[in-house]
Amino acid sequence: MWILIATQLLIVGVDASRFWCHKFEDGQCIAPGDAGLTLTTEDKAKMSAFVKAVLSSSWQRPQVVNSSTIRNKVLAGYQGWAGARGTWDHWTNDGQMAPSATDPDVNHWEHFEMIPQMGEYPLGALQATGFKYHGNGSVVNVYANAAEGVVDLHFQWMKDYGMDGVLLQRFISDVINPGKGLDHFNTILAQADAAAAKHGRTYAIMYDMSGAASTWDTDIDADFVSHVKNYTSSERYLKEKGRPVVCIFGLGLVDHAQATVDSSLRFIRSMQANGFYVIGSGPYYWREGTHDALPGYSGVFTAFDAIMPWSVGRYSSALDFSRLGPLVEADAALTQSRGQGLMRT
């Protein structure tokens, strides 16, 4: 799960207190990643305003989120893929066998670093692993995402802890053909719609074209018309400027070259012509066309209604992020001058 804060853009520095630590010993940070960094008075004011904006926008708002705008929202990226299709998808490396502490085959090793708290999950949604808890020796269970009650619980937690909703990811490679993959993600979509209504949250579809073929655009069109479009008229479906929000991840990324400039522009303009607000998510260096961004895609990024640079893996500490301040500020200046939205992940 990743977090998107769609709110006022603020460039913040870091305090002398540690925001990142490379090594701990006896609970103490012995290798801080931010050594030597201090906050200026201006930085402190910006950080304070940022925290206030996020908390006041979520924790103190009415119990039913305003789904008519994406502005001032705290949203999570929701994959819904854990334990999919009756397998161990995303719980083990190969998704085929239960994770175990004794199995020598690396393909069967666990695919997670932390075990979620399982006490609130419905018993029927749990799958037993080969691990046991220290202390009482009880079996470690994990959940199957599409099991009844799991998505509902996640949306309940969003309400309990002040998150507004999700961008519900839909993987093109999983939904292009009839079968367990399509059935699974259709189930997650229906459950998310019901849970958003029940708990007063909001959601929008985010297509992920990782692993997609050169027919990615027509594949999305077919899936959208057949399985998604009807949900966009739901009261809880996220809108912006009166238009349902649809996000697409991957256009312009160096490892997603199957989406050419021409096919990307056709897709964006077609969705917009049909009344949708299109957000593009992908390269962090979209404006420069370097590093993780394909060159020559400036027209594609100009066409989006909003841009959401993908920051996962682009920095690993507060020090790293502080060095990106000029880039983030330039992104904001350009999108603002064009009347585009800009969201940071």
* One pLDDT digit (tens) per residue for the chain, 345 residues: 444 544 333 333 333 333 344 444 443 444 544 444 566 777 777 766 766 665 555 555 568 999 999 998 999 999 999 997 778 998 988 888 888 878 888 777 787 777 778 999 999 999 999 888 888 889 999 999 999 999 999 999 999 988 999 999 999 999 998 999 999 999 999 999 999 999 999 999 999 999 899 999 999 999 999 999 999 999 999 999 999 999 999 999 999 999 999 999 999 999 999 999 999 999 999 999 999 999 999 999 999 999 999 998 888 887 888 889 899 999 999 999 999 999 988
CB 205 within 8 A of CB 223: no
108 within 8 A of 93, measured Cβ to Cβ: yes
* Residue 284 near residue 292 (C-beta atoms within 8 A): yes
Backbone φ and ψ of 44, nearest 5°: -60, -40
The predicted structure's pLDDT at residue 150:
98
What number of other Cβ atoms are within 10 A of residue 323's Cβ?
10
Dihedrals phi, psi of 30, to nearest 5 degrees: -110, -5
- The answer to whether residues 301 and 252 touch, using CB atoms and an 8 Å cutoff, is yes
Q: Are strands 306-309 and 243-249 parallel, antiparallel or unpaired?
A: unpaired
How far apart (Å, rounded) are the C-alpha atoms in residues 158 and 224? 26
Task: For residues 252 and 156, give the distance between their C-alpha atoms in angstroms, rounded to a whole number.
Answer: 35
Q: C-alpha distances in angstroms, 118 versus 115, 144, 149, 212?
A: 8, 11, 13, 34
Which of 239, 256, 253 has the alpha carbon at shortest distance from 285?
A: 253
Q: Which residues contact 16 (CB under 8 A, 6 or more apart)?
A: 37, 38, 39
Q: Are 34 and 20 in contact (CB under 8 A)?
A: yes
Domains defined along the chain, listed by start? 2-81+145-342 (3.20.20), 92-142 (no CATH)
Cα–Cα distance measured from residue 119 to residue 141, given in angstroms and rounded to the nearest whole number: 10
Whole-prediction pTM: 0.83
